Amino acid sequence: MKKMIALLSILAMLLTVLSVPAMADEEPIRIGTIYAMSGGKAAIGENILRGIDFAVKEINEKGGVNGRMLEVVRGDHAGDPAQGKSEAERLITQEHVDVMMGCHMSTVTEIVAQVCTQYGVPMITAISTLDRLSDPDHEAMDYFFRLCPLNSVYVKDMLEYLKDSAEQTGEEVKTIAIFTDRAAIGQELIRCVELYKDEYGFDLVATVDYTSDATDLSAQVLALKQADPDAILCDSYIGDATLFVQTLKAQNYTPKMIVAKANGFTDPAFIGNLANVANGVASVVEFNPDLINGQEINEEFKAEYGVNMNGHSAESYTVVWIFKTAIEAAGTTDGAAVRDAIAALDIQGEFPGGRKIVLPYDRIKFEDYDLAGEPHYRDNIYSSVAIAQVQDGEWKTVWPFDFTDTKILYPAPLQ
Amino acid sequence: MSENVKAVRAYRRNVALALGLLLLVFVLIPVFVKSPYILNIFVLVFYMSTLSMAWNLLGGMTGQNSLGHAAYMGLGAYASCLLITKAGANPWLSAIFGMVVVGLVAGVIFYPCFILRGPYFTLVSIAFGEAMRQFIINSTFFGRASGVGLPFGRDSWLDFRFGSKVPYYYVGLAMVLLIYLLMKKIERSRMGYALRTIREDEDAAAAIGINPTKYKIMAVVVSAMVAALVGFFYASYIRYIDPDLMVQAKSTESVLPAVVGGAAYVEGPLVGGLIMIPLSEFLRARYSAMLPGINMLLYAIALLAVIRFRPTGILGWYMHSKTKKFVDEKLLRKPPVEVFEAVELQKRGGKEA
């Protein structure tokens, strides 16, 4: 009897060992994600993860990648670089993820990308916009790719919009002014405008700043009124953004164009606070539900989660599709092979077996290039943002012109 | 030689053997544990316990509850990182530079503050931490909100830079040991007695000729310098620092190991760190993906349970427990107190009885 049991158990063990290689093909492909899921930044993480889950579900329903299902392994960096590093190591060495996505704070992304490069795990960031992640100091981080536009591309697109707007408004923008926070976001806007204004031939007539959470902005608005630029570029947090537009109204000053670099201006509370007074304010967006390529996916997404898809969800959704396409091209999940496949990828218009690119551009290709005289590495050089404008209390995409049917509301009515 | 002397010697040998074995285990861990993730947790334990020992010198031994230790650590990290990146200095020298800078800053700022007692000192320490953080966020030289990164590159002892965890593990272990020995030395020194007297009653201490301000400043400076050393270690390990290193929550993190382990004991932060940090990592790895934030909730419950049921910390409980009695009598063969007294008397008498 004992011998029987021993024999049987040996047989069972043998079977397990033998069945492992057979099962390996069926094993899911694991995507590691590192975002803040707890702490002050958790709400942002939630939108990102929805975009990822949505793509994974879609791909798995269509039969997965090379016959294998996708599986998401979530890590939580809680906004802390040290925790980000620790989570990256856990996901790579304990959970054996094949590819990595993250993070939503560029500084944490930088650390996680270093860890991924060290272990040879390909990583794509959907939303980290800090310019320096792809600068010459990070040339050696060759497992790291960036889908989203860089901070300076955001601003460049704002200027591009001002230039293109003449086509619809019939008036050319010549003078611009900056209205922004003294904090990091404002400094970044000023730096980038300085970088590109000459290229577009704009005359910067005033730079007006204030300290976050201002209680009074009348002096600043007065300064803008005196400079009377053709367009105002701004970046503020929600409280200051609201006060700014209210003060414009109170001082009876209606600039013809106001273009914001998202943040407070695209906060859901912005239109709620101002109602009709917000009409005419424009802002950068990475995605908007009325984008021609985004309408269909937004309906499905809304049916699933009850909210509109936002920029973060749309970009994260796209990264999952990039991984799928690259792994299929590589025919393996080997880190170096997938890395090479991502580098060689050229998505034009739509993903093989998937949708059209849902973002406001129609090509994805990671390349080394020059940006304002400095080399950059492995960024998606075709990425750009869209400009949306508040019209009838809703954000409507107005630029790039190919991606929308809505016309620019000009001059901004602010009522 | 009397039986008594033999018993005491045997006991001391057993204690040394036990500690030696413990140390050997820690030295051998990287030989057997190959997972970088597990080694990472040990490195975390090492530097957080060291930071907590720094806090404990002030909070546990002197009774001055500081909630600004993250600022000392952050400032130390910044001072050494900036010297490395801007002046190209050697990291090891920069560590010393960072310690000196932070020691000076802490001494100069807290000298006038020691008129304050009790909760007011705690409030100043909070304000100090936040002021330092705001200063760095608004200073271009310090890199503002975007922080400072240390260069990556080839492994090098000179640059204290490695791809592998193992060197960090050993340096971290050495740091914990050195700081532990330093704290033990302070505890047994004149300074240690003075600090404990101040903790119990500052006026009484002054009355018997202890200058409370002098000793408190010494404690703050030493504590801040150790925190700065941890800051240097952190920066070299993570290779990136930002002003969020100094947020209030980080200061609280430096208090927890000491409180959980037992703030009255020099060993408290070590015991607390060895328990709380792996616990926190385990909870995050196991639960955070299922229900975000649940790991923090469970951690808080564990913390509350310790504070509610073992207010003197784990060591406070152990010192009066049956477990200690068992360990002492059966494993280490500790002789009864009378034997120690007899041996001591004999030594003073100068000759055998």
Side by side, which strands form the sheet with A144-146? A70-76, A29-35, A99-102, A123-125, A144-146, A374-380, A366-371
Query: What is the average pLDDT across B211-224?
Result: 92
- Residue B239 banded pLDDT, cuts 50, 70, 90: confident
Q: Which three-class secondary structure state does DSSP give residue A208?
A: strand
| pLDDT at site A25 | 54
**Chain A with chain B: Cβ pairs closer than 8 A:** 74
Distance from CA of A115 to the nearest CA of B (A): 9
**Contact between A42 and B292 using a beta-carbon 8 Å cutoff:** yes
Q: Please choose, from the candidates A310, A374, A296, A344, the residue with its C-alpha nearest in 3D space to the C-alpha of residue A48.
A: A310
**Contact between A37 and B234 using a beta-carbon 8 Å cutoff:** no
- Is the pLDDT confidence value at A15 over 50? no
| pLDDT at site A2 | 54
**Contact between A110 and B234 using a beta-carbon 8 Å cutoff:** no
Tell me whether domains A29-149+292-380 and A152-285+386-403 share a fold.
yes
Give the nearest partner residue to A38 out of B137, B238, B296, using CB atoms. B296
- Asked if A254 has any chain B CB less than 8 Å from its own CB, the reply is no
Q: Of the ranges A129-138, B3-12, B39-48, which one carries the lowest mean pLDDT score?
A: B3-12
| pLDDT at site B47 | 95
What pLDDT, in 10s, does the model give residues A210-268? 988 889 999 999 999 999 999 999 998 888 999 999 999 999 999 999 999 988 898 87
Distance, in Å, from the CA atom of A161 to the CA atom of A398, rounded to the nearest integer, reads 9
- Asked if A406 has any chain B CB less than 8 Å from its own CB, the reply is no
| pLDDT at site B1 | 57
CB-based burial label for A12 (10 Å; 0-12, 13-18, 19+): exposed
- Asked if A90 has any chain B CB less than 8 Å from its own CB, the reply is yes
**Contact between A94 and B37 using a beta-carbon 8 Å cutoff:** yes
**Contact between A107 and B284 using a beta-carbon 8 Å cutoff:** no
Domain A29-149+292-380 superfamily per CATH: Response regulator (3.40.50.2300)
Query: What is the average pLDDT across A189-208?
Result: 93
Distance from CA of B44 to the nearest CA of A (A): 9
Question: Is the pLDDT higher at B10 or at B26?
Answer: B26
Distance from CA of B91 to the nearest CA of A (A): 19
Nearest residue of chain A to residue B294 (CA atoms): A38
| pLDDT at site B295 | 75
- Is the pLDDT confidence value at A395 over 90? yes
Q: Which three-class secondary structure state does DSSP give residue B101?
A: helix
Q: How far is CA B81 from the centre of its chain?
A: 22
Distance from CA of A72 to the nearest CA of B (A): 10
What pLDDT, in 10s, does the model give residues B262-311? 888 999 999 999 998 898 888 888 887 777 777 778 888 888 888 788 88
- Asked if A110 has any chain B CB less than 8 Å from its own CB, the reply is yes
- For the record, the structure tokens of A172 come out as 């050319």
- Asked if A81 has any chain B CB less than 8 Å from its own CB, the reply is yes
What pLDDT, in 10s, does the model give residues A405-415? 999 999 999 98
Going by their DSSP bridges, the two strands A123-125 and A363-364 should be labelled as: unpaired
| Model ipTM value | 0.75
Amino acid at A338: V
- Is the pLDDT confidence value at B351 over 60? no
Distance, in Å, from the CA atom of A367 to the CA atom of A343, rounded to the nearest integer, reads 7
- Is the pLDDT confidence value at B79 over 90? yes
- Is the pLDDT confidence value at B161 over 90? no
- Is the pLDDT confidence value at A371 over 50? yes
- Is the pLDDT confidence value at B353 over 60? no
- Is the pLDDT confidence value at A50 over 90? yes
| pLDDT at site B78 | 95
Number of other residues whose CB lies within 10 A of the CB of residue A66: 14
What pLDDT, in 10s, does the model give residues A95-122? 999 999 988 788 889 999 999 999 999 9
Give the nearest partner residue to A38 out of B44, B163, B293, using CB atoms. B293
Query: What is the average pLDDT across A334-341?
Result: 95
- Residue B35 banded pLDDT, cuts 50, 70, 90: confident
Residue B300: CA atoms inside 13 Å, Cβ hemisphere, count?
A: 5
- Is the pLDDT confidence value at A11 over 60? no
Q: Please choose, from the candidates B196, B221, B195, B179, the residue with its C-alpha nearest in 3D space to the C-alpha of residue B48.
A: B179
Distance, in Å, from the CA atom of B294 to the CA atom of B301, rounded to the nearest integer, reads 11
- Asked if A60 has any chain B CB less than 8 Å from its own CB, the reply is no
Distance from CA of B36 to the nearest CA of A (A): 7
B79 Cβ contact list (under 8 Å, min separation 6) = B94, B97, B98, B101, B102, B228
| pLDDT at site A166 | 93
> Which architecture characterizes domain A152-285+386-403 according to CATH?
3-Layer(aba) Sandwich (3.40)
Residues of A in contact with B81 (CB under 8 A): none
- Is the pLDDT confidence value at A18 over 50? no
What pLDDT, in 10s, does the model give residues B90-145? 999 999 999 999 999 999 988 888 777 778 888 888 998 989 988 888 787 887 77
| pLDDT at site B284 | 82
* Chain B interface test: which of A35, A86, A104, A131 (most B C-beta within 10 Å): A86
- Asked if A85 has any chain B CB less than 8 Å from its own CB, the reply is yes
**Contact between B293 and A89 using a beta-carbon 8 Å cutoff:** no
**Contact between B40 and A187 using a beta-carbon 8 Å cutoff:** no
pTM of the entire structure?
A: 0.81
Tell me how far apart the terminal alpha carbons of chain B are, to the nearest angstrom.
Answer: 9
- Asked if A94 has any chain B CB less than 8 Å from its own CB, the reply is yes
Task: Find the angle CA(A40)-CA(A111)-CA(B162) to the nearest 5 degrees.
Answer: 140
> C-alpha distances in angstroms, A13 versus A4, A8, A50?
14, 9, 40
Question: Is the pLDDT higher at A17 or at A265?
Answer: A265
**Torsion, Cα of A171, A174, A179, A184 (10° steps):** 120
Distance from CA of B30 to the nearest CA of A (A): 15
Distance from CA of B148 to the nearest CA of A (A): 10
Going by their DSSP bridges, the two strands A99-102 and A29-35 should be labelled as: parallel
| pLDDT at site B346 | 79
Report chain A's mean pLDDT, rounded to a whole number.
Answer: 89
Nearest residue of chain B to residue A183 (CA atoms): B138
| pLDDT at site B34 | 85
- Residue A331 banded pLDDT, cuts 50, 70, 90: very high
Spans of all domains in chain A: 29-149+292-380, 152-285+386-403
